[in-house]
Chain A
């Protein structure tokens, strides 16, 4: 072990647990407090909900909790019994199973008063939310953000902008109160502030050795997803950023013997994050960056802080996943330079088709332009049945040998 650097747990982590507990307690008590609960997709516009005092609940965040608790297989199997194919998105099928009475890590989610679905991350969410809206008998709003294969056109911008007007009207109708646009601008400012802090936190891993790894980012991501647009979120990330700076100063890092810096593509394999983190650390590899957690600050460049309302359409349409695979490959190449990456691991995720299809071509583009080795491992973010320990470990070994050479 490199004696100069040491590994220590991230202290702010305990605060995250406290915040998330309070968040869920408040959501479960929403009806008693006269508050509405909205289920919303992870890429959906949460700021208008916060501005309307609606509690946003993220089934995908719940999916991550299910995965981390290793309950994925049980819930997906239950959904299969309801007729949902095991080839469908496991976040969706696990959520459907939980809604129909099977217990998840927190029992079940607080019941929704409405569903808000934005298809900037995938089309699966449209079908998933349609099913849940029928089941809970609640209104559904779909924000349709057409994919920007090669560019973001004016007519797409106008189409999405008009839908935001419809979203505001939808929320006003369900909540029976008017949208406070001044408050929305304020929430927007907090949201931008949180995204900037999140980007700064992720950027601390440009330091070698990195003060945290992508595995830590997967954990600390929860607030930028769920509480973006609140003071709680901004304060948390401010503290986390300070801790990262202190860790760099005090020579505390994720992998003390960090020799190789690797970028992760696609969602985490939630039930194997600890196992993978140990396997990589044993081989002096640190996952210093990933395309998944950085997606929550990827549209910062399209947001005008002084015109948050006017920025909503590009900010929610021009996200990492909602563009052509050549653009995605170029984003990864920029990250290779920025984080001084030696190799890339792509999780070919059976559950997430828009993230995974195109990876073979992205791999070719990266190889041609950078010569950086790319390993593809096939698994599922939630369903343990798709993961083979022995096979993946030997592939990681082969990949590490390539990094050594």
Chain B
């Protein structure tokens, strides 16, 4: 299969995840929605469900505006809109305590929908054994919630073997993480995959059938290996922030000849920077891998964790600038911004968007001016 064909498949899913999920649902897949990359989607997969991340695809907020004030972040509003509009076919939703806003969105969904609801509580502190133990218990609780529902779906209840199903899911997901990371490494040096292509891959990966995903990414890696890798990138950019609130940015960067050498968004590489090592205690293994992945700004793992992490990334990829892309009212990232800007050795551009996928003329000019100056 050609690179172009595979990339087009990812683009179709990224552009229209609703149709993709509806097709899955019509073919008998039971979909479990989840809202945060700290939710271990391998568990959802293990119990026979299809995990689909709610990525806030809604561009208008008609329903969510009657639940959330105007000063609420547009990503949270879009996530709520995705769920309340029932466009995503699902009977269950797993929330996580991402930030104050998302915790309230969780309550609003629980009160206003018929979805079976689970709050997956990830410790805010990720720096202690106490946190690891608590996270392990939350993983077991989530597994319990899913198991009770999956038993209702299982034809032959006696055949249900938790450990072997979870282990095989963990192996599949480890395969995905490794191949996505490999692809991202190649993509940052290659002109064969654009910024927009890579975004489509990351975005679609949280929606797709995971076996199909693993195969497609591996195929892509094989195809690219056979093609020439060019390292003629002009401007190297690190993108950081929360869930991507402006997909249009990738195209702007492509057109300006800039390469996102590291997409540190929550809808970028961050969720894939996990390593699962099987030790015989699967819940512990998953907890460990979640605690060791790059942290979200809403979590705490030491005073300088995110600053040092971004400094390392900039150095490793020889980035010339950082674009800090956040939805307006996103407290965790907006609190981080001044100290990160101060500590970086390269210029940092802050872009705030107040509507999904809306960047107005002046911001577009700022991006272009920023790229010219670095």
Contact = CB atoms under 8 A, between A and B. Distances in A.
B197 interface: no
Given A149-B106, A361-B112, 11 more contacts: A82-B338, A85-B334, A146-B97, A146-B123, A149-B119, A158-B134, A325-B111, A326-B110, A353-B104, A357-B101, A378-B69
A140 to B, nearest CB: 7
B332 A127 contact: yes
A163 B341 contact: no
Nearest to B124: A144
A350 interface: yes
Interface stretch (A38-46, A129-137, A233-241): A129-137
Interface stretch (B215-223, B265-273, B298-306): B298-306
B335 A88 contact: yes
29 contacts: A87-B328, A87-B334, A88-B331, A122-B100, A123-B298, A124-B335, A126-B298, A127-B332, A127-B335, A140-B303, A142-B124, A142-B125, A142-B300, A147-B103, A149-B107, A149-B119, A155-B134, A159-B134, A163-B125, A326-B111, A353-B329, A357-B68, A357-B69, A357-B101, A358-B104, A358-B108, A360-B66, A361-B67, A365-B111
B339 A134 contact: yes
A361 B134 CA distance: 31
B interface, by DSSP: helix, strand, loop or mixed?
Answer: helix
A6 B332 CA distance: 49
A150 B103 CA distance: 12
B363 interface: no
Interface of A: 82-85, 87-89, 92, 119, 122-124, 126-128, 130-131, 133-134, 140, 142, 144, 146-147, 149-150, 155-156, 158-159, 162-163, 166, 324-326, 348, 350, 353-354, 356-361, 365, 378
Contacts of B110: 149-150, 324, 326
Nearest to A359: B69
B137 A353 contact: no
Interface string B291-309: 0000001101001100000
A361 B338 contact: no
Contacts, number: 134
Nearest to A89: B331
Given A134-B304, A325-B108, A360-B66, A353 B101 contact: yes
A357 B341 contact: no
Contacts of A82: 338
Contacts of A150: 110, 119
Given A123-B331, A126-B124, A85 B300 contact: no
Given A124-B331, A166-B130, A348-B69, A325 B124 contact: no
A130 B103 contact: no
Nearest to B66: A360
A87 B338 CA distance: 14
B67 A360 contact: yes
A354 B104 contact: yes
Nearest to B135: A159
Contacts of B106: 149
A149 to B, nearest CB: 5
A96 to B, nearest CB: 9
Contact of B335 (A84, A140, A365): A84
A89 B130 CA distance: 29
B190 interface: no
Contacts of A83: 337-338, 341
B138 interface: yes
Contacts of B150: none
B130 to A, nearest CB: 5
A101 to B, nearest CB: 15
Contact of B331 (A348, A353, A358, A359): A353
Interface string B329-371: 1011011111101000000000010000000000000000000
A48 to B, nearest CB: 17
B189 interface: no
Contact of B300 (A92, A130, A348): A130
Contact of B71 (A87, A127, A147, A361): A87
Contact of B336 (A127, A158, A356): A127
B99 interface: yes
Query: Which of B107, B119, B137 neighbours the largest number of chain A CB atoms within 10 Å of its CB?
Result: B107
B131 interface: yes
A352 to B, nearest CB: 9
Nearest to B126: A144
A209 B99 CA distance: 41
Task: Return the 6 tightest CB-CB contacts between A and B, nearest first.
Answer: A83-B338, A127-B335, A357-B104, A159-B134, A354-B100, A155-B137
Given A88-B335, A350-B71, A353-B72, A325 B104 contact: yes
Contacts of B105: 357
Contacts of B289: none
B191 interface: no
B260 interface: no
B141 interface: yes
B121 interface: yes
